[in-house]
């Protein structure tokens, strides 16, 4: 079994990377880096760290039956996972355990055979768990009962906050873009936040267009079947926007290189890979005829992100238009170092629409 104990220096290096995207958030007026480093310095100096804990039992766990495939803290357990049990009815059972393949095989971690052996350790979850901060400092009292000083960072440290099927939402979508809510999430989910959902064993990304007490509206990939998992991201850094403007009568001729042809520019995506979950557009002057030209975003491979109008995109006029649930899951990934382009079919009646603006909504996985 790999040694799970990390040095303070190693953990701080990991934390530096983790908190980079959260520097605009604060804890009681202090930025997360400063606050967390101060917490680590004060409570962890000279102490060790146990990393890679899969889940924590917030109440009593039946350790005699716990096995691979069981769910703890919203996480499905696998053989060899490390779990932390600090709230057992029998306090002598508190401690670290390794999950077994079948009932009866889950046993204490060989390096920590009782609760007292964890005295002075910082315990680190491998990924956030609902209701539990990803970092928490554990000590023990004179007996086997454990005192947990929790650095509860879950309000903003969780990249993706899960919602519970049936309890929070109805798994069968109300439509291809709407989800019926069982509990009011308007205090947590806001319009424009990133969405992540699992359908048919595949994860998709989108964004929340509107949020009501009983209904969520999604923009992005259509809700084509029962939703197995649903998440929202409270981190502002999970969503990005990229805009480009093209001057003049740029929609007069069909083109798959509108940016290069009109602006004599090329656009390369230097950020981490992201999903284009929607885009909107506007022209300053409408086509003078009855029909406006369709516009689309092309991904790093030159394929259309929107599948409306046989992949030609959506028409843009003097009123803002935007995609809804018409994003192609095969084409919405924008790769790091990949190109971004715009296309038009130029079916505008007279080809004289002027001055195009396109805004793309991107979600980081």
Sorted by where each begins, the domain ranges of the chain are 5-157, 161-234, 238-363
221-266 pLDDT, tens digit per residue, is: 999 999 999 999 877 778 999 999 999 999 989 999 999 999 999 9
For Cα atoms 159, 165, 167, give the angle at the middle one, nearest 5 degrees. 105
89-132 pLDDT, tens digit per residue, is: 888 898 899 999 999 999 999 888 888 787 767 777 777 676 66
Q: What is the number of H-type helices and E-type strands within the chain?
A: 4, 25
Structure token digits, residue 38: 């101060």
C-alpha span between 201 and 229 (Å, rounded): 9
Are the CB atoms for 204 and 197 separated by under 8 Å?
A: yes
C-alpha span between 214 and 220 (Å, rounded): 20
Least confident of 116-120, 216-220, 316-320: 116-120
pLDDT value for 233: 87
Q: Specify the DSSP element, H or E, that contains 32.
A: helix 32-44
Query: Which single residue is written with the structure tokens 């599948």?
Result: 307
The CATH code that applies to domain 161-234 is 2.40.30
State if pTM tops 0.85.
Answer: no
Structure token digits, residue 259: 């940016």
The CATH code that applies to domain 238-363 is 2.60.120
């Amino acid at each position: 079994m790999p040694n799970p104990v990390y040095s303070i220096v190693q953990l701080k290096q990991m934390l530096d990377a983790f908190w980079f995207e959260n520097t605009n958030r604060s804890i009681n007026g202090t930025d997360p880096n400063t606050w967390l480093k101060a917490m680590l310095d004060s409570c962890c100096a000279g102490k060790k760290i146990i990393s890679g804990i899969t889940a924590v039992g917030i109440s009593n766990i039946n350790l005699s039956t716990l096995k691979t495939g069981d769910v703890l803290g919203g996480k499905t357990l696998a053989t060899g996972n490390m779990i932390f049990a600090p709230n057992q009815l029998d306090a002598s059972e508190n401690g670290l355990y390794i999950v077994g393949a079948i009932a009866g095989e889950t046993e204490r971690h060989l390096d920590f055979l009782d609760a007292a052996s964890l005295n002075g350790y910082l315990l680190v979850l491998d990924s956030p768990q609902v209701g539990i901060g990803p970092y928490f400092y554990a000590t023990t009292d004179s007996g086997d009962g454990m005192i947990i000083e929790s650095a509860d960072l879950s309000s903003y440290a969780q990249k993706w906050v899960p919602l519970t099927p049936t309890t929070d939402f109805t798994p069968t979508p109300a439509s291809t873009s709407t989800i019926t809510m069982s509990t009011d999430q308007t205090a947590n989910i806001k319009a424009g936040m990133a969405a992540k959902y699992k359908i048919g064993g595949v994860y998709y990304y989108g964004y929340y267009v509107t949020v009501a007490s009983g209904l969520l509206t999604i923009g992005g990939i259509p809700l084509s079947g029962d939703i197995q998992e649903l998440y929202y991201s409270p981190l502002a850094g999970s969503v990005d926007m990229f805009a480009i403007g093209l001057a003049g009568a740029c929609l007069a001729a069909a083109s798959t290189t509108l940016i290069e042809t009109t602006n004599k520019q090329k656009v390369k995506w230097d950020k981490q890979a992201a999903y284009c979950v929607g885009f909107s557009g506007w022209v300053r002057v409408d086509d003078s005829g009855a029909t406006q030209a369709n516009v689309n975003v092309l991904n790093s491979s030159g394929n259309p992100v929107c599948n409306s109008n046989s992949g030609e995109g959506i028409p843009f006029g003097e009123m803002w238009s935007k995609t809804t649930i018409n994003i192609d899951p095969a084409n919405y990934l924008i790769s790091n170092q990949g190109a971004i382009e715009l296309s038009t079919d130029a079916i505008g009646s007279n080809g004289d629409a002027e001055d195009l603006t396109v805004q793309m909504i991107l979600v980081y996985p």
